[in-house]
Homo-oligomer: A and B are copies of this chain.
Amino acid sequence: MRLLLLSNSTNPGEAYLEWPKAEIKAFLGDRPTCAAFIPYAAVTFSYDEYETKVAKVFAEFSCEIKSVHRIWRPAKAIEEADIIVVGGGNTWRLVQLMREHNLFEVVKRKAEAGTPYIGWSAGSNIACPSMKTTNDMPIVDPQGMDTLGLVPFQINPHYLDAHPAGHGGETREDRIREFIEINSDVFVVGLREACLLRREENQLNLIGKNTARLFRKNWITKELAPNEDLSFLLESTIPQVPFY
């Protein structure tokens, strides 16, 4: 399986999808490709706009973007694609519409058979077993929280340490601690901005400028260094990791 799972599309003040360009290019290679793009996480802007914005960037990688919203049978478009690209926005809306269009089965099958998958934010979240570590507001009922399960752990995209002054609510770390309290056998990777996880078969690496934060119930929380080998997270049994 080949996955590129980004925390975010864009760092503040930078051009759209600027920071991960070199990584996406390296991941896609030099051959011209055609990608099926899933835009359903967009809520306050149109799928056409979303497609145009993404297509402009991916053209630099000789990768043509075809958004599934323009196609009568979205599942067929995914079936025929060289690459699957899932954009960010609202994870709840994305999962709701992927379910309505029966896309979970075909995306999972294609990705497991080797079709490269690129996702950011909501698109990274749904590569996990469930969407239960999303930060998004549940604006719709997606009729179930299970997602693709292309990795056996959970990602929390846009992981952040800051806690606004005067705010009486929970921090992001508090939220993840609640998750692992109930879901005690699951790892959660808090993926900070400008970071991504790259999976190449049984190899998983953290790539980016920032460290990531790894949570599991009863385990000491660990900062993961850029380029760190995280392949143990792909094992289905509890890994015996020497640093714990």
Contact = CB atoms under 8 A, between A and B. Distances in A.
Q: How large is the interface on A (under 10, 10 to 19, 20 to 34, 35 or more residues)?
A: 35 or more
Tally of this chain's copies = 2
B162 A164 contact: yes
21 contacts: A11-B166, A11-B168, A12-B168, A43-B178, A43-B181, A44-B174, A131-B138, A132-B139, A134-B137, A134-B138, A137-B175, A139-B175, A139-B178, A139-B179, A140-B182, A158-B167, A158-B169, A160-B167, A164-B164, A167-B193, A168-B193
Most-contacted residue by chain B among A134, A182, A193 (CB, 10 A): A182
A62 interface: no
A144 B193 CA distance: 32
Interface string A11-45: 11000000000000000000000000000000110
Given A167-B158, A168-B11, A178 B137 contact: yes
A90 interface: yes
Interface of A: 7-12, 43-44, 90, 93, 121, 131-141, 144-145, 157-158, 160, 162, 164-170, 174-179, 181-183, 193
A81 B170 CA distance: 30
A139 B182 contact: yes
Given A158-B169, A162-B164, A179 B137 contact: yes
A136 B174 CA distance: 10
Nearest to A19: B168
Nearest to A8: B168
Given A10-B168, A165-B162, A193-B167, A137 B182 contact: no
